[in-house]
Structures are given as structure tokens and as C-alpha cells.
Amino acid sequence: MPKRELKRPGQVIEWLMEWGTQLQTPCNLILIGYGGLLWHAAERNIDTELPEQSMDGEPRDLKHAKWAVTVGLVPSHILS
């Protein structure tokens, strides 16, 4: 799945499950950036979509941090 199509936490899990059916050897995968954020959200049963155009304009890390605070993944003092 192209990275710009990943917007909802459940999509990351679906993408990983799809890849898992194609792999024949156990392996590890490190998710970084919004892929990691979405995975953590999915693990906590949070299904809030990333902000529209979160990869454009405002620095991506700041938009992701605001999103993570909004959905409760990280405490709000992280942005202060």
C-alpha cells in the first residue's frame, strides 16, 4: 500500500497481515513515522484518521505529534 494511502490505524494492521501471508521466513519490521503511530493507535483500538494532508505543509512530525496527543497516544505536555 503506498504510504499516502495509510490514514486509519486499522489499515496498518491489514497491510502487515497481507505482507505476513507473503513471507515465508519469520522476520521483524520496524515501523517509523506515521506508520508507527498508526500501529500504536490500532493496538489501543483507536480508529481516528490522520489529519488531512498530514504529510504536507506543517512539519510532518508536529502534525503527527498533535494527532497522537488528540487521540490519547501521548500526554499533552509532550508538545509544551
What contacts 63, CB < 8 A, 6 or more positions away? 50, 51, 54
Report the half-sphere exposure of 14 (CA within 13 A, side-chain side).
8
Per-residue cell: 12: 496498518
So where are the chain's domains? 3-79
Residue tagged 483507536 (cell numbers) = 46
Determine the pLDDT at residue 53. 58
Determine the pLDDT at residue 20. 87
pLDDT string in tens for the chain (80-residue length): 445 577 888 888 888 888 888 888 888 888 877 788 888 888 888 888 877 655 544 455 677 777 777 787 777 776 66
Determine the pLDDT at residue 80. 64
Q: How does DSSP assign 10-23, residue by residue? A: HHHHHHHHHHHHH-
> What pTM was computed for the model?
0.61
- Distance, in Å, from the CA atom of 40 to the CA atom of 80, rounded to the nearest integer, reads 22
